[in-house]
Amino acid sequence: MKKQRKLRGLQRKKMVAGYLFIMPFILGFLAFMVKPFLQSLYMSFCNVEISSTGFHMIFAGMANYIRAFTIDTEFNRLLVEEIAKMTYNSLAIMVFSFFVALILNQKFKGRAFVRAVFFLPVILSSGVILGIESDNSLLASVQDAIQDSIGTASITDTIQNILVTSGVGIKAFEKVFEIVDGVYDVAIASGIQIIIFLSGLQTISTSMYEAASLEGCTKWECLWKVTFPMISSLFLVNWVYTIIDFCMRSDNEVMEKISNTMIVDMNYGFASYALKTVIPDEPLPPVPVTLGTQATVQPVLGEENQLLLEKAKTGELSQSVTLESSVQAPVAVGDRLGTLTVTFGEEVLVELPLLAGEEVPRITFRQMLPRVLRIACLVE
């Protein structure tokens, strides 16, 4: 009984020590990740208006999501492209990091140096290092000196010229560099995953491999029947981390669009936008028709007369109408007769087509003869 109590006491002490070690992370995660996430989630369901007193949020339900997926012309395309890119990139990163971790887990000279080399791209691709590189005047001067010494052509331009002159087409050149960029992106993003897999491989007891070899298992069988089952849970951890890392990358076009909309333009998503139905300020004058069954045709505005505008611009719009001086019959419904231009100050927001709202057939000789006789009688 005393031994069991001692064991329980030791387990409690270890549990408390473990919670104390991870407590800073838990507090930081709750303060800097969970709270902003919940605030952003609630803000996405609201119309956000910015004033001198701060943010004013009015609950709007799914209106912002409906506008993003049904009205915005870029969001759906960017979302599909980034999801596809994330799918095959995450798969490539998982496979690459797993096999690299298998290699680094072997015993050979210089193993620590090789591990550092594989983790070095993670450090070099961090935001701090990238910021130092972008603002480093010494690196900029060295780069300018190199360009002056080799000429204005860059390395990629030089390689392109070599490939083109050797008979390789532009498409093949682009494909080669696309593959090279893909390999570079996978290697850069695999550092943390390699370390996680490596830590899992080091927890596997060597006695399990010895027992498997005594049973006649080959290296390949040991991989699938011992190694893979023992670290299978780490694949989920690495996959989740890879997705999060991909979403936080600076070249993610969806995140870049959201960031530009929220921060650069200070619009805070679609909450600061409104749908404006364009209606002509004045009745549109008819357009004369030559050689038609009727003298004029009435222009109308097309069906696509709704604009997604910033709320600050909806009240100060101006319109200008440009119509054809005359059109020749026959005129079909939907033929373009002019343009309605909507402007905000000097900025042209949209040019909407003005279309024929009715059909005007071309006049025939039988229809023209009575008109000519009527005009002749009036002249006499």
Shared domain for 93 and 211, answered yes or no, is yes
Say what the pLDDT of residue 301 is.
86
Residue 21 lies in a domain: no
Shared domain for 239 and 163, answered yes or no, is yes
What is the SS3 string spanning 298-326? CEEECCCCEEEEECCCCCCCEEEEEECCC
Q: What is the CATH number of the domain that holds 298?
A: 2.60.410.10
Shared domain for 353 and 247, answered yes or no, is no
Cα separation, 39 vs 48, in Å, equals: 12
Residue 334 lies in a domain: yes
Shared domain for 251 and 354, answered yes or no, is no
Q: Please give the chain's pLDDT, 380 residues, in tens.
A: 666 676 677 778 888 888 888 888 888 888 888 888 888 888 888 877 665 566 677 788 888 888 888 877 788 888 888 888 888 888 888 888 888 888 888 877 877 777 777 777 666 655 545 555 445 555 556 556 555 655 545 555 666 666 666 655 566 666 666 666 677 777 777 878 888 888 888 888 888 888 888 888 888 888 888 888 888 888 888 888 888 888 777 777 888 877 777 665 555 555 556 667 788 888 888 999 888 888 899 898 887 777 777 666 766 788 888 888 888 888 888 888 888 888 887 888 888 888 988 888 887 766 666 665 665 565 44
Shared domain for 187 and 328, answered yes or no, is no
Cα separation, 102 vs 227, in Å, equals: 9
Longest dimension (CA), the chain: 133
Mark which of 264, 288, 310 sits at the end of a domain: 264
Shared domain for 121 and 224, answered yes or no, is yes
58 contacts 47 by C-beta, under 8 angstroms = yes
Residue 339 lies in a domain: yes
Residue 52 lies in a domain: no
Q: Hey, what long-range contacts does 98-107 have (CB within 8 A, 24 or more apart)?
A: 98/193, 98/197, 98/235, 100/190, 100/194, 101/194, 101/197, 101/198, 101/201, 102/197, 102/201, 102/223, 102/227, 104/194, 104/198, 105/198, 105/201, 105/202
Cα separation, 187 vs 181, in Å, equals: 10
Shared domain for 256 and 375, answered yes or no, is no
As for how many domains the chain has, the answer is 2
Shared domain for 119 and 195, answered yes or no, is yes
Shared domain for 326 and 350, answered yes or no, is yes
63-70 vs 75-104: helix axis angle to the nearest 10? 90
Mark which of 264, 299, 334 sits at the end of a domain: 264
Mark which of 264, 292, 320 sits at the end of a domain: 264
Contacts with 234 (C-beta within 8 Å, 6 or more apart), sequence order: 196, 197, 200
Whether a cis peptide bond, with omega within 30° of 0, leads into 121 is no
Domain with 333 in it = 278-379
Q: What is the CATH number of the domain that holds 153?
A: 1.10.3720
What pTM, to 2 d.p., does this model score?
Answer: 0.53
Residue 20 lies in a domain: no
Shared domain for 122 and 238, answered yes or no, is yes
Shared domain for 91 and 221, answered yes or no, is yes
Shared domain for 255 and 284, answered yes or no, is no
3 state SS of 61: coil
